[in-house]
Structure formats: C-alpha cells, structure tokens
C-alpha cells in the first residue's frame, strides 16, 4: 500500500526541516508539536495542524516522531490522546528520536497489539543534514515496513541502512554517538595544542582534515571551535542524554566504555556552567581552561 499522508510529531531544530522536506516531496502532512508556534511554518505551507498526537495519527499512513527523550516518545505514542488512540491498523510509526533500545522494543510490542508497525529510525547529520535532506538513517524493525516507508525516508536522508530488528536502529545510533563524542575530544585537543604552539588553527584544520584525521568533528565543527562559534547544531544537553543511554546500554551488556565515560564527565563540566543549550563544539572551552587558555 502506497503512503499518501504522513503525520509528523515534534518540530524542533531537526523536526521542522525534516517535516518540511516531506511536504516538498508532495506528501500530505498532519503536524503536532507541544509548542504550536514551532509548527507554524509548516501550517503556513499547507500542513494540517492536529490538536493531539492521536488527531495527527488519524488518517495518516505513516506517523513520524522526532522528540527529545524516551519519556517523550512513550507519552506521544502510548499516553492519553497518544498515537495509539488514533492510528489505524496497518499504519507505520517511525520514531526518529534517539531513545532507549529496550524501551523501543517494549513500545513496538504494544503498538503491534493494535496492528500498528513500529520502526526505530534515529538519524545523524545534524541540522545541516536535516535541512538538506541528507541525513543518515539507522533503521530497526521489519524489512517489509522499511521498504514501504522508504520513499518517505528518502525525502529526509540519503543513507538509509537496515540495522536489524526493533531497537537495533537505536543501538546503532548509540554506537554513532560513541564515535561522535570521542571524535569531539580529539578535535578539541588538537585545536588547543595548535593554539598553544602558535599555529594558524584554521590552516591546521585544513591540513589534517584532508587526511587520516579527517572527521565531522574536525572538518565541520573544528572551524567553529576555532572561532568560538557555539551556536547549536546539536545541543550539549541532548548529547549528554544520548551518552547516558550509551552508558546504560553498555552496563546492561557488560561492555566497558572508559573513553565515553570520560567524555560524559567533560561535558558535565559545561552543563555545570549552565551551557547545556550550546552546541557540542563548546567542549573546546573545557580543554582551553585545562591548558591555561581563556575562551
């Protein structure tokens, strides 16, 4: 069955452009957000406002959620006036948030009881990728549901990978966040050493970014670190939430992650200063202070 109408729940920094790309592709869109004003650009472009998640899901072939944390997903899917109350049997729910793999499996089982199929499909690529429709999308759940939903996912991302059964998309995203966070430390340390040594930091970034040291942290966020541009593409507080999920999953599986645990504590230093809403590249400030530099 082809998908004609989508519902999108959660129109924050990432969700708004993602939903906009669905509309640009010609799909009908029903939209709900806790803060209605955040969805206004979509309504102005022709989306239908829904008063509740249940209302958004009513009549939608696919329902996409993009909210902050596990309790938020559980509330919009299974709470009073949640998606479960409005979705029809055969509908597909795609959660693109980053949440607990275990909770994802539990919610998928509850939705299956009413004939609704769930995919977990967290993303990587930041606000830039959301705007450009080039996100990497990590999908857990039935392959058949993924193939049915693929045309919608392709409006938002260019690298769509099936990672396994329910929860495995989320587990893949947690692996992604381990690499992202540790790369951020490497970039920050390299930039601080360059500053202390009197190098042209931007020249250093160009030099190493084209070689084996190249990464998103170096090439995209490195220049922002150098310029102290801490506007959020992805907020410190959200990465910290993700790292808590990583460490929780690692504990359940008896996997030691000493590097990731250390990064989590370094970011805690930023949170202690009330800087949780800044971009993750603000980590450079912690290393500058350790090195006797001032931001």
pLDDT means per 10 residues, the chain with 295 residues, are 85 95 95 93 95 95 96 96 96 97 97 97 94 97 97 97 98 98 98 98 98 96 97 94 97 97 98 97 97 83
E strands, 20-108, in order: 28-32, 48-49, 62-65, 92-95
According to the CATH classification, is domain 171-290 in 3.20.20.70? no
DSSP 3-state assignment of 33? coil
What counts of helices (H) and strands (E) characterise the chain?
Answer: 15, 9
- Residues 10, 15, 20: CA angle, nearest 5 degrees: 115
Q: Residue ranges per domain, the chain?
A: 5-165, 171-290
Structure-block tokens of residue 66:
């993009």
Q: Residue 164 and residue 162: Cα distance in Å, rounded?
A: 6
Q: Residue 85 and residue 7: Cα distance in Å, rounded?
A: 14
**CATH architecture of residue range(s) 5-165:** 3-Layer(aba) Sandwich (3.40)
Q: Are strands 123-124 and 135-140 parallel, antiparallel or unpaired?
A: antiparallel
- pLDDT score, position 233: 87
| Contact yes or no for 28/5 (Cβ under 8 A) | yes
Q: Are strands 92-95 and 117-120 parallel, antiparallel or unpaired?
A: parallel
Nearest C-alpha neighbor of 57 from the set 93, 97, 3: 93
C-alpha dist (Å) from residue 14 to 73, 173, 236, 283: 15, 16, 15, 21
| Contact yes or no for 62/40 (Cβ under 8 A) | no
Q: Residue 152 and residue 157: Cα distance in Å, rounded?
A: 9
CB atoms within 10 A of CB 247: 17
Structure-block tokens of residue 176:
């992604």
pTM for the structure as a whole? 0.93
Give me the active site residues, please. 173
Q: Residue 120 and residue 75: Cα distance in Å, rounded?
A: 16
């Amino acid at each position: 069955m082809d998908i004609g109408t989508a519902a999108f729940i959660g129109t924050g920094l990432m969700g708004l452009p993602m939903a906009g790309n669905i509309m640009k592709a010609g799909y009908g869109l029903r939209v709900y957000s806790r803060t209605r004003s955040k969805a206004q650009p979509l309504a102005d472009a022709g989306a239908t406002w829904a008063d509740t998640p249940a209302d958004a899901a009513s009549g939608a072939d696919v329902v996409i959620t993009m909210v902050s944390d596990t309790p938020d997903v559980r509330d919009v899917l299974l709470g009073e006036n949640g998606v479960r109350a409005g979705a029809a049997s055969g509908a597909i729910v795609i959660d693109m948030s980053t949440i607990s793999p275990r909770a994802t499996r539990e919610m998928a089982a509850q939705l299956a009881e009413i004939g609704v199929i769930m995919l977990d499909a967290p993303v990587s690529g930041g606000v830039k990728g959301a705007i450009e429709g080039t996100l990497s999308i990590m999908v857990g759940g039935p392959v058949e549901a993924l193939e049915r939903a693929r045309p919608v996912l392709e409006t938002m991302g260019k690298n769509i990978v099936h990672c396994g059964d329910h929860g495995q998309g989320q587990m893949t995203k947690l692996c992604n966040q381990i690499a992202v966070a540790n790369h951020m430390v490497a970039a920050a340390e390299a930039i601080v050493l360059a500053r202390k040594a009197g190098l042209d930091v931007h020249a250093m970034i160009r030099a190493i970014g084209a070689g084996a040291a190249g990464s998103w942290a170096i090439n995209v966020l490195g220049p922002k670190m150098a310029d102290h541009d801490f506007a959020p593409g992805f907020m410190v507080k959200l990465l910290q939430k993700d790292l808590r999920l990583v460490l929780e999953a690692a504990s359940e599986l008896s996997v030691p992650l000493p590097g990731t645990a250390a990064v989590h504590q370094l970011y805690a230093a930023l949170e202690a200063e009330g800087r949780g809403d800044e971009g993750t590249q603000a980590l450079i400030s912690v290393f500058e202070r350790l090195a006797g530099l001032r931001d």
